[in-house]
Structure 1
Amino acid sequence: MTPNAASASSGSSGPSRRSFLASTAVASVAVAGGMPLLAACGSSDSDSRGGTTSGKNAKKLLPAYVASNVVTPDIPSKNGSSMGFTSKLDVTTLKTSVPKKLGKGGKVTIMSPFWGSPPKSDNPYYTSMNSLIGVDVQWQNQDGNTYDQKLGAVLASSDVPDVVVIPGWNMGGKIPSAIISKFADLGPYLSGDKVKEYPNLAAIPTDAWQRSIFGGKLRGLPMPASYVTNIVPLYRKDLFDKAGYQLPKSADEFTALCKEITNARAKRWACGDMKWTAFNIFGVLSGSEKALGWNQVDGKLVYRVETEEYLEALEWTRKLFAAGYVHPDFKLGKSQATDPGSKFGAGEFLIWNNDISNWYGQQAAQAAQNPDFKIWGMDLFGHDGDDPTLWAAEPAGIFAFVNRKASESVIRDVLAVANVTAAPYGTKEWMMTNYGVEGTHYTIKDGVPVKNDKGNNEVVNAFVMVASPASTIAHPDFPDVTKASVEWQQRMGAFTKKSSFWGLQITEPARYTNLSNDFEQLEDDIARGHKKISDMQQAVSDWKKQGGDKLRDWYKQLLDENGSAAS
């Protein structure tokens, strides 16, 4: 998730990773987090142990952590939250985090997913960044919507760019084994104290670096994320306050609230598709990556779909649909065409299950036309009214890799690029990376940088993909949203647990790659009443027979041999 990305209106009935990343031109926000539905990895059995290094072996590979003291956040990270910045930016007092150019003037080609129309290669943003870094970066931007196809073709060829950005959701099929065979070990340049040559990389949290170990080597440059769930039940606080609605503290109270809100004749419904919130309030293991769905309970590994909590969450979601509390667009699957953002803004439904970035994205998009508009994040609760049991997302989900054939000078130039793009908020390097050149790409209005059309066209989807600072939320135009977003993460972080394989790169054997593919569609069919809970129970039984139990044994052996990275 790019540090300056926010979706002003999600393009699907649930959170969409691609629409989110595509929306960097819509609003500027410093957010990093892992989206749901990331595809798990698959590769040949020969690489089935790749990327599972933990414990003492991992400590030998990991860069030393040296916290940055260049800029102090207004709200420090706590319980796995992002750090927050609420202060207005004074561009005349921005700090410098890279006092001298580390680049040696070489040329570096970078292939990365891009959503939208890529700018010309000699545009002012690219040339200014190259001048700042001291490296001639040549971008090979590829359509983010079809990136997996291009990625497969390029990695199967002998013509691999110097750097390739690979999001976690593109790590299917043979990609994990290609990562291990095609990309360089960065350990000789970054492990231990060696990283101190690149202070902004040294300030990247250790958990994110742990996720960058593939095939027993430190190969990735990570985009760190808060491990707190990024799915928030956003609600129309302005309309809640006006009507006197009380926030629910249990699943039954939520259902009762939905009944109170819904009036189909008046074109008002309570909510959108609440499946992902249901998983959270019922304590279901994470579905964002296959490995996170496994957890050891009383010495036995259990997969998320086998649990009672999973079925209970689906049944609760189904009842919301069946009772007519869900906006009909979500039931009919038309939300992509009809834009749920505008209908949320119009008050047609009041609770929207969405990525935390939309807290700001929706507020920024609606505030100009509706000054009274205010959305807020509803705290997650346990379904029975007790504290919730939440499961940690991954601390990094997008990585940049360096061609294993690259010379040392090229690798050093790549690290020089990453050291600039990983600069913290409030520095000159962060401003250039995320906003471009003042006067050319943005202007400052009341202490807030505002991109113009040129900025929205050029300063997107590129340098931010190479490496990023520790997870940050910064909205100087809406400081109350910044504060509330970070504090929401902090409160939810207090209830967040790490499952057995959290923080590790797991490459499942190829024969299991597609084993769980049908569960997501079946979940949605059950929620909408097209299938029954018994259909899911049968699917789980089939899953066990078709390889689920053998996959459990494989994961158990992995855990016995490597241990857990979660602490």
Structure 2
Amino acid sequence: MPEISRRTLLRSIGVASAAVAAPTLLTSCSTSGSGGSASNRGADLAPWPTYIPKTGPAPDLKGDPKTGVQDAYLTYPDKLTKGTSGVPGDGSTLKVMTVTFGVTPKPEAQNKYWQAMEKALGVKIDFTTVPAADFQSKLATVMAGNDLPDVLNLAGSANIAREGEFIVKTMANLSDFLSGDAIKDYPNLANIPTESWKGVGRFHGGIYGIPIHRPRPVTALWINGTSFEKQGYRLGDSDYSRDDFTEIVSSLTRGKRYGTGASKDNPFGWWAHAQAHGVPNTWSHSNGKFTSYFESDRFEEMLSYLNSLWKKKLYFPESTSISGVDLTTRFYNGTVQSYMGGFSAYLTTLKMVHGFDAMPMTPYAPKGITPANWASKGYFGYTVINKKMSTSKIKMVLRVLDHLASPFGTEEYQRMHYGVEGVHFTYNKDGDPMPTKLGGTENITNLPFYYLCDAPQVLYVPGAQSGIRSLHAWEKQVCPGMVNDASAGLRSATYSTRWATLARGIDDSITAIVTGRQPLSSWGAAAKKFKSGGGGKIAEEYAEEYAANSAK
């Protein structure tokens, strides 16, 4: 299943339950040494971990770390190296918990992939995988109780009520182990780019979370490249207009096929269209003040355009009710010719799509507007360690996570991502690791070790050379001008408790306007309601945090 962003995950797992845990957590966290606060105001700020990049196999298409273009591999490395030395574990059992987008894995006793990972790590893994649909409620229960896992990944939980306070109260401050040059004891963790650490941010000045790296692009307007190219689109076109896009999706809408589609998780794929209309990335900072993208004067124009697509019946008719997972299935089978999805969905999309070329589209440009391609915060969730552990135990867990972060081209990376040769995969004639029948069920999707820790991503999908070339070309075009979210790594108590409700209200307004149930003129009132309902307070708290982080 394709990955989705932290914001999309929240919408898919029931935002209303985010506030349920708030009273209990507020009480339980108030006795921490920092007064329960995760804010960095007035705290001593731990230096970021020293970034020490590791040299891997030479890429077929070279990236650019300065702009965020990834190294791309058209073939799998002939020779693998060792990413670590020795076995990291001490033979004990670790209780771990992550979200999953797969199916329930077979028990450890029957699961050769699970067994191989335990043997390599030197620990028994008591693995709790929580389906995305249940993650919110499960995590609220865990946070409110005393039976916490040893290792917890908060993948996608950006809006968990009192999340920061919970982390400070119950999880280990890893600054002494990872801050500055201390991280040199864990070379693969030191290979995680600084921007990913900054994206997670500090908690009351300390480093608590280890980021699961993600590339610079956060979303993409995924298209059926074969169909779009037949209508005149070419990857790399820099003067592609909004009218051109409208004409193509109109031409591709016929019978039971639709030029574009969306899901209830992100109404009408508005993130992609907001970027095309030059709407800034989530939060902007200027002259000491923060401004939400809902306050952009281009937002209303974007809504007007989406309304025109809906009225022309160019959207898949179930776009207001279908889940994100089911929407991607419609894209894979050709029912929907374009949709907004997470960029990292390429890891699944290029495996699943065989009847056409799937690729991200260069944003179209309305007349007189330069698109604002949004950058990610550099991570998909982060991993924390229970503070009840001894120092020696924390170091052992960090060695385990360092092992899991072994980079592409190592034996450790191959084992975690593809399993055991001859059992879970075999090499095809081109040397790519391809899954066996057993590998179709015993794999990293159903037992997501990579949500505990993973290497920085590269562009590689077995047997998908054409798709990888398109992705690399797209990144070269859009990455240099990407716009950051100024709130990356900043803490806001109001965001933690109010954003879920605010976002749901905004989505409801967007849906009502695009479908014509409310007039376009109602958007101004919706944006004002967002600001008065908590958005303005979030902006103030971000400004205070920004100043605190900039002062030292």
Category of TM-score, reference length = shorter chain: 0.7 to 0.9
Counterpart in the other structure of 1:450: 434
Corresponding letter in the other structure for 2:343 = I
Is the partner of 1:379 in helix, strand or coil? Answer: coil
Flag the 1:512–1:324 CA change in 2: closer, same or farther, 3 A.
Answer: closer
Higher strand share: 1
Is the partner of 1:181 in helix, strand or coil? Answer: helix
Flag the 1:282–1:298 CA change in 2: closer, same or farther, 3 A.
Answer: farther
Q: Pick which of 433-442 and 500-509 moved more.
A: 500-509
Counterpart in the other structure of 2:479: 493
Q: Deviations along 1:197-239, whole A, 9 cap, x unmatched? A: 111111111121222522321111210112323x222223323
Using the TM superposition, give the Cα deviation of residue 414 of structure 1 relative to its aligned residue in structure 2, in angstroms: 1.0
Confirm or deny that 1:282 pairs with 2:277: yes
Using the TM superposition, give the Cα deviation of residue 336 of structure 1 relative to its aligned residue in structure 2, in angstroms: 6.6
Confirm or deny that 1:552 pairs with 2:535: no
Flag the 1:194–1:314 CA change in 2: closer, same or farther, 3 A.
Answer: same
Confirm or deny that 1:535 pairs with 2:522: yes
Flag the 1:541–1:294 CA change in 2: closer, same or farther, 3 A.
Answer: same
Confirm or deny that 1:433 pairs with 2:420: no
Counterpart in the other structure of 1:151: 139
Counterpart in the other structure of 1:472: 458
Using the TM superposition, give the Cα deviation of residue 541 of structure 1 relative to its aligned residue in structure 2, in angstroms: 2.2
Q: Matches of 2:59 and 2:74 in 1, distance apart?
A: 8
Q: Deviations along 1:369-414, whole A, 9 cap, x unmatched? A: x4xx223322124322654222322111311111111012221221
Confirm or deny that 1:255 pairs with 2:277: no
Corresponding letter in the other structure for 1:271 = T
Is the partner of 2:441 in helix, strand or coil? Answer: helix
Counterpart in the other structure of 1:399: 382
Flag the 1:442–1:245 CA change in 2: closer, same or farther, 3 A.
Answer: closer
Counterparts of 1:41-56 in structure 2, within 5 Å, are 50=38, 52=40
Corresponding letter in the other structure for 1:413 = M
Q: Matches of 1:102 and 1:301 in 2, distance apart?
A: 44
Using the TM superposition, give the Cα deviation of residue 250 of structure 1 relative to its aligned residue in structure 2, in angstroms: 2.1
Using the TM superposition, give the Cα deviation of residue 49 of structure 1 relative to its aligned residue in structure 2, in angstroms: 6.0
Using the TM superposition, give the Cα deviation of residue 269 of structure 1 relative to its aligned residue in structure 2, in angstroms: 3.2
Using the TM superposition, give the Cα deviation of residue 487 of structure 1 relative to its aligned residue in structure 2, in angstroms: 2.9
Maintained 8 Å contact 2:201/2:489: no
Counterpart in the other structure of 1:131: 119
Counterparts of 1:367-406 in structure 2, within 5 Å, are 367=354, 370=355, 373-384=356-367, 387-406=370-389
Is the partner of 1:169 in helix, strand or coil? Answer: coil
Maintained 8 Å contact 2:159/2:495: no
Maintained 8 Å contact 1:283/1:391: no
Using the TM superposition, give the Cα deviation of residue 133 of structure 1 relative to its aligned residue in structure 2, in angstroms: 2.2
Q: Matches of 2:71 and 2:322 in 1, distance apart?
A: 36
Counterpart in the other structure of 2:92: 106
Maintained 8 Å contact 1:249/1:385: no
Counterpart in the other structure of 2:206: 217
Q: Deviations along 1:277-299, whole A, 9 cap, x unmatched? A: 2111112233xxxxxx3212355
Flag the 1:258–1:126 CA change in 2: closer, same or farther, 3 A.
Answer: closer
Counterparts of 1:144-183 in structure 2, within 5 Å, are 144-169=132-157, 171-183=159-171
Q: Matches of 1:129 and 1:281 in 2, distance apart?
A: 43
Corresponding letter in the other structure for 1:201 = L
Structure 1: 5+ residue stretches without partners: 22-38, 287-292
Structure 2: 5+ residue stretches without partners: 262-267
Confirm or deny that 1:322 pairs with 2:314: no
Confirm or deny that 1:65 pairs with 2:46: no
CA RMSD after TM alignment:
3.5
Maintained 8 Å contact 1:81/1:228: no
Maintained 8 Å contact 1:278/1:313: yes
Is the partner of 1:113 in helix, strand or coil? Answer: strand
Confirm or deny that 1:355 pairs with 2:342: yes
Flag the 1:140–1:274 CA change in 2: closer, same or farther, 3 A.
Answer: closer
Flag the 1:510–1:360 CA change in 2: closer, same or farther, 3 A.
Answer: closer
Flag the 1:458–1:171 CA change in 2: closer, same or farther, 3 A.
Answer: farther
Q: Matches of 2:310 and 2:416 in 1, distance apart?
A: 44
Maintained 8 Å contact 2:295/2:527: yes
Using the TM superposition, give the Cα deviation of residue 346 of structure 1 relative to its aligned residue in structure 2, in angstroms: 5.3
Using the TM superposition, give the Cα deviation of residue 350 of structure 1 relative to its aligned residue in structure 2, in angstroms: 2.9
Is the partner of 2:154 in helix, strand or coil? Answer: strand
Is the partner of 1:485 in helix, strand or coil? Answer: helix
Flag the 1:362–1:501 CA change in 2: closer, same or farther, 3 A.
Answer: closer
Q: Matches of 1:57 and 1:489 in 2, distance apart?
A: 37
Q: Matches of 1:279 and 1:343 in 2, distance apart?
A: 23
Choose which of 508, 511, 514 in structure 2 pairs with 1:524.
Answer: 511
Flag the 1:49–1:500 CA change in 2: closer, same or farther, 3 A.
Answer: farther
Maintained 8 Å contact 1:105/1:136: yes
Corresponding letter in the other structure for 1:301 = F
Using the TM superposition, give the Cα deviation of residue 262 of structure 1 relative to its aligned residue in structure 2, in angstroms: 4.8
Using the TM superposition, give the Cα deviation of residue 271 of structure 1 relative to its aligned residue in structure 2, in angstroms: 1.8
Counterpart in the other structure of 1:190: 178
Using the TM superposition, give the Cα deviation of residue 312 of structure 1 relative to its aligned residue in structure 2, in angstroms: 1.5
Q: Pick which of 341-350 and 421-430 moved more.
A: 341-350
Is the partner of 2:540 in helix, strand or coil? Answer: helix
Q: Deviations along 1:302-358, whole A, 9 cap, x unmatched? A: 22112211111111111111122223232x534679x44555455444333333344
Q: Matches of 1:94 and 1:19 in 2, distance apart?
A: 40
Maintained 8 Å contact 1:112/1:465: yes
Flag the 1:347–1:466 CA change in 2: closer, same or farther, 3 A.
Answer: closer
Choose which of 292, 301, 312 in structure 1 pairs with 2:290.
Answer: 301
Flag the 1:105–1:171 CA change in 2: closer, same or farther, 3 A.
Answer: farther
Q: Matches of 1:545 and 1:100 in 2, distance apart?
A: 56
Is the partner of 2:57 in helix, strand or coil? Answer: coil
Confirm or deny that 1:208 pairs with 2:208: no
Q: Matches of 1:365 and 1:552 in 2, distance apart?
A: 41
Maintained 8 Å contact 1:89/1:476: no
Using the TM superposition, give the Cα deviation of residue 53 of structure 1 relative to its aligned residue in structure 2, in angstroms: 7.4
Q: Matches of 1:20 and 1:427 in 2, distance apart?
A: 35
Flag the 1:194–1:270 CA change in 2: closer, same or farther, 3 A.
Answer: same
Using the TM superposition, give the Cα deviation of residue 145 of structure 1 relative to its aligned residue in structure 2, in angstroms: 2.0
Flag the 1:526–1:151 CA change in 2: closer, same or farther, 3 A.
Answer: same
Choose which of 83, 89, 107 in structure 2 pairs with 1:120.
Answer: 107
Flag the 1:175–1:16 CA change in 2: closer, same or farther, 3 A.
Answer: closer
**TM-score, length-scaled by structure 2:** 0.84
Corresponding letter in the other structure for 2:299 = Y
Corresponding letter in the other structure for 1:375 = A
Identity %: 24
Counterpart in the other structure of 1:25: none
